[in-house]
Amino acid sequence: MHKIIITGGTGYIGSHTVVEFQNAGFEVVVIDNLSNSQVEVLDGICNITGIRPVFHKADVSDADEMEKVFSIHSDAVAIVHFAAYKAVGESVQKPLMYYRNNLNGLINILSQMQKNNIPGLVFSSSCTVYGQPEVLPVTETSPVVKPESPYGNTKKISEEIIEDTIKADQNIKAILLRYFNPIGAHPSSEIGELPLGVPNNLLPFITQTAIGLRQKLMVFGSDYNTPDGTAIRDYINVVDLAKAHVIAVQRLINDKQVNNPEVFNIGTGTGNSVLEIIKSFERSTGEKLNYEITERRAGDVEKVWGDTTKANNILGWKAEVSLDETVKSAWNWEKKLRGKL
Ligand code: UFG
């Protein structure tokens, strides 16, 4: 049984990815400092798969802690590295905190891979590296620009750190997955997104509004150059996204790479506006959403969606779950959280 280390494995995307690796027969070790997640997420994982992953409460940005954890798991075949701060607005306020955490974390992981001869890395990157693309959909060869936020810049710099490390040490094999907007929850409603405080992201704000925790959703901007005037994103189901990581690791361990690193867009290939997401929510759940159009949010791009042909053809991965089903899974998770399912 292959052992795999998942950093940030109690987080939103991380927890769904743990489940998919366990389903695929991997032994999963989770590293997370629980700074933005709860240890009970492991119960949810265990309820789905029947397996409680080995868990280390440890901070990837702490070199000594990583030294200890990796000395126990030097037999891992690959690392899936999620652990990072991710709030765009907060990163503008606290850039050094973001650079220190996200970059030191990656550097420590790469150092431990070298030290322990662990060859494979799957890194969670973001479509934020494309900024506002001139040509849509974006492909992996679309220009990478300096992102709007320090958070986004940590993703761009992280990609560069990985590329430079590989240039110097071809023993390290990496796949960079550039995610579009992950949404939804596991169909079991055992795990899902757990935002602390007021959500920044659209879907948790919608579901918290519909359940009565927020008064109304503010739709940020209706004067964009899009068919209905609201901004467009490529919303990808989180379980579909999680599966892409399993395929990426299998590709690494089976020596299937043609470049090192390889980069893949992970999205649906379709853009949806904010109003279309609201319609999908109302259609799939039968709930009415209270919302109001307001000013644009600073730093938002107008429209972005991905060309996922490369992931479809080379990884053999494809987004499968429909938008309505995905949005409904987010609603079921919200209801479960509030004891209403
Ligand atoms: N939106 C609203 N009201 C809200 C929240 C969001 O109208 O209360 C709109 C936004 O303006 C945007 C869309 O919904 O048009 C999606 O917003 P999110 O905050 O959910 O997602 P973003 O596209 O802003 O950010 C996501 C990830 C980031 C990543 C970025 C890259 O959260 O990690 O995509 O584009 F950097």
CATH number at residue 37: 3.40.50.720
Q: Which residue's C-alpha comes closest to atom 10 of ligand 1?
A: 220
- Tokens describing residue 288: 């009415």
Instruction: Establish whether residue 303 lines the binding site of ligand 1, counting it when its CB lies within 6 angstroms of any ligand atom.
Output: no
Nearest residue by C-alpha to atom 3 in ligand 1 = 219
With the most atoms of ligand 1 within 8 angstroms of its CB, the residue from 202, 230, 326 to mutate is 202
* Pairing assessment for the beta strands 181-183 and 235-237 based on DSSP bridges: parallel
Number of domains present in the structure of the chain: 1
Residue 147 counted as domain residue: yes
Which has the closest alpha carbon to 231: 304, 166, 321? 304
Establish if 301 belongs to a structural domain: no
- From the CA of 64, how far away is ligand 1's center (Å)? 35
CA–CA gap between residue 31 and residue 3 (Å, rounded): 13
The count of other CB atoms within 10 Å of the CB of residue 164 is: 11
**284 occurs within a structural domain:** no
User: Is 118:77 a contact under the CB 8 Å cutoff?
Assistant: yes
Which residue of the set 151, 179, 224, 235 is catalytic?
Answer: 151
CA-wise closest residue to 175 among 102, 104, 84, 81: 81
d(CA 129, CA 280): 28
Instruction: Answer yes or no: is the C-beta of 302 below 6 A from any ligand 1 atom.
Output: no
Helix (H, G, I), strand (E, B) or coil at 272: strand
Task: Tell me whether residue 46 is in a domain.
Answer: yes
Q: Which of 289, 11, 263 is nearest to 141 (CA)?
A: 263
Quote the ligand 1 centre to 25 CA distance (angstroms): 34
Judge whether 230 and 291 are in contact, CB under 8 Å. Answer: no
- How many CB atoms lie under 10 A from the CB of residue 265? 28
- What is the rounded distance in angstroms from the CA atom of residue 155 to the CA atom of residue 136? 21
CA–chain centroid gap for 79, Å, is 15
Residues facing residue 266 across a β-bridge = 179
Please indicate, yes or no, if residue 297 is contained in any of the structural domains: no
Atom of ligand 1 nearest to the CA of 296: 11
Q: Which residue range(s) make up the domain with 19?
A: 3-182+236-266
Reading the chain (341 residues) residue by residue, the pLDDT tens digits are 999 999 999 999 999 999 999 999 999 999 999 999 999 999 999 999 999 999 999 999 999 999 999 999 999 999 999 999 999 999 999 999 999 999 999 999 999 999 999 999 999 999 999 999 999 999 999 999 989 899 999 999 999 999 999 999 999 999 999 999 999 999 999 999 999 899 999 999 999 999 999 999 999 999 999 999 999 999 999 999 999 999 999 999 999 999 999 999 999 999 999 999 999 999 999 999 999 999 999 989 999 999 999 999 999 999 999 999 999 999 999 999 999 87
Listed in sequence order, the DSSP H helices in 180-219 are 202-211
163 domain residue, yes or no: yes
Residue 99 among the catalytic residues? no
What is the residue with the minimal CA distance to atom 5 of ligand 1? 202
> In this structure, is residue 276 part of a structural domain?
no
| Closest protein CA for atom 11 of ligand 1 | 220
Any ligand 1 atom below 6 A from CB of 152: yes
Place of tokens 């490529």: 234
Q: What are phi and psi of 76, to 5 degrees?
A: -65, 145
Please tell me the distance between residue 202's alpha carbon and the centre of ligand 1 in angstroms.
Answer: 6
For ligand 1, the distance from its centroid to the CA atom of residue 4, given in whole angstroms, is: 31
> Considering the domain boundaries, does residue 168 fall inside one?
yes
